[in-house]
Amino acid sequence: MGVDVTAQALSLAGSLALGALLGVVYDLFRVLRVRLPLPGLGGALDVLFWAVATVTLFVWSVVSGGGVVRIYIALGLLAGCWAWFRLVSRRFLVLAHHLADICASIMHILLTPLVLLRAAAKKCKKFLKIPFIMAEHGIK
């Protein structure tokens, strides 16, 4: 049984790509955390990220390394993440924040009729209650 250097190089390249992909996922979670300031969302996204990272490392080690987590695969994952954050992340975050603002504007435009309809329904409900209230108190 020999060492297949080509398979190891492909495995390393794949782990670099997976590390960069995990960087993308982390940045997307950062945008969600900033744009949706809900209590507890940050912790939930952190747990979700680490679950995704763990499953990704496990599945990649099964696929490429026969189920063995090799040190060069883990280092490749870290190097891919580092390269993402060092080279691309800032520009990606600017673009992602702009896209989040555009999506929020579109949602605002789409939901405005529903908000107005709800306000109108509240006024109609209040207006329709008046005759019943008057009848209940014997007012004509």
Residue with tokens 């507890």: 40
Q: Which two tokens stand for residue 31?
A: 């945008």
How far apart, in whole angstroms, are the C-alpha atoms of residue 92 and residue 80?
15
pTM over 0.85: no
Instruction: List pLDDT tens digits, range 76-106.
Output: 989 999 999 999 999 999 999 999 999 989 9
Mean pLDDT, rounded, for 30-42:
89
The stretches of 66-140 forming alpha helices (DSSP H) are 71-87, 89-136
Q: What percent of the chain has pLDDT over 70?
A: 89
> Is residue 115 packed enough to be buried (19+ CB in 10 Å), middle (13-18) or exposed (0-12)?
exposed
Residue with tokens 């900033």: 34
How far apart, in whole angstroms, are the C-alpha atoms of residue 121 and residue 89?
46
pLDDT number for residue 62: 85
